[in-house]
Structure 1
Amino acid sequence: MSTEDAKMDELEFRRAVLADPNDKELAKATGDDLKKQAFVKEIKQLDKKITEASNIPVPDGLAHRLLLRQTMAVHTQKRQRSHFIQLALAASVAFILGISVTQWQFKEAASLSEYGIAHVLHEGDYALGASEDISLSQVNAKLARFGGEMTANTGQIYYANFCDFDNIKSLHLVMQGDNGKVSVFIVPHMQGYAIDSAVKGKWNSEAYDLSKASLVIVSDVPSDVAKMRDRLSKNIQFSA
């Protein structure tokens, strides 16, 4: 037998052992060859270990526990998803209610004076907390938009900015009254709003018609409302 044939026989023998180390025909092929016998023994031991490893007994109730764990995991995911949806809905409802309350607060104002109070309440300390010292020329630069002019200094002005007064661009001033800060709105004439006075909580308001705009004054001191009305009605003029 040639060397090449011997190699082929050896290769075929190894393939047969790997395929089935317990094949009875392998005893004939092994004969007295100690190397082949050792190889067969090694593969048989490996095969036995694999068989033993694959035959580990399954603990009682394992399938039930695995099914229970999977069910609980699915339940937890659903509960978390439901909780997230509830939070999102709650946030949406709160947002809508917030907008609705704000809109209601303004729309319920049936007069300029009531709307003035609602505006002050809505802004909180944003304007009333201002502490600037606005000059007369700065105020008149803004009043010019309405064709108006403040002819005399009426005391310190802490705040002067345009604002949205029920979708009408108006001028919002915060001025020094005799007893504290007073909110003043100069509003182009609006249809559908009464010119009157109003009281809500500690706030007092009065609306007063000038030639081309309405004056709305809000304060927590009733006497300051009347005094500021008299002061401004004499010192604000509008061009013809």
Structure 2
Amino acid sequence: MNCLEFRRRLTTEPRSRDPELLAHRDTCTEGCAAFWQRTQRFEDDIEAAMAVPVPDGLADRILLAQATGERRTQLGHRRAWMAMAASVLIAFAGVGMLWRYTDQHSLAAMSVAHMPYEMASLTLTRPMTDDDVEAGFIGRATHLKGPAPAMVTYVHDCTVGQYPAVHAVTRMDDEPVVALYMPGKMDSTPGTFHRGGWDGREVQLSGGTLVILAQGASHKAMDTAERGWRAAIDGSNLTASL
């Protein structure tokens, strides 16, 4: 089992105790153990959100309402009120759980969660050759259509959440800027975000989604990185429209 199979399997079966799955978790050196721990914590949060406490005496009140025939009309209104209150409570709990699940599974959240295991890449300063940069993208079945940006110091195949990705770092005026490209992911919503100390932006390209991340880098550095990777991934003809 490789890292991609492990993370896809864990995304669909987070509580699985399959021996092959656990064996990969315990032996992988690419951060799969930390991914497993984050998945378990998220499942714990969902279970906690679903554990809505029942009001004291609710069962007694319901039984009393069912047993008292001469107050059918009044109790009918009372049951309707209680059902409405319970529906509202369930609706609020469901909306809260759905929002939390959606937020935790957003591309911004998964991109930021990926970074603690890649912080060493931000310290690299030696530029890579164009061939080495191209090789990193070929590993994700992607060929660059334009020249790589200047000062690329890191390229690596990785996984962001459940998405296969290329992780790259460029240095702009000695400021490290991260680029995470997920080929084939076409349902993202372009825009900017600030999360967990990271400034970020999602960029929709013709063949996938590009996420630009930086901590304290200038807007100019992030703009330059975005333009460079747009031109490299989608083709140099795009630079004229940026």
Normalised by the length of structure 2, the TM-score is 0.49
Task: Name which one, 1 or 2, has greater alpha-carbon Rg.
Answer: 1
Normalised by the length of structure 1, the TM-score is 0.49
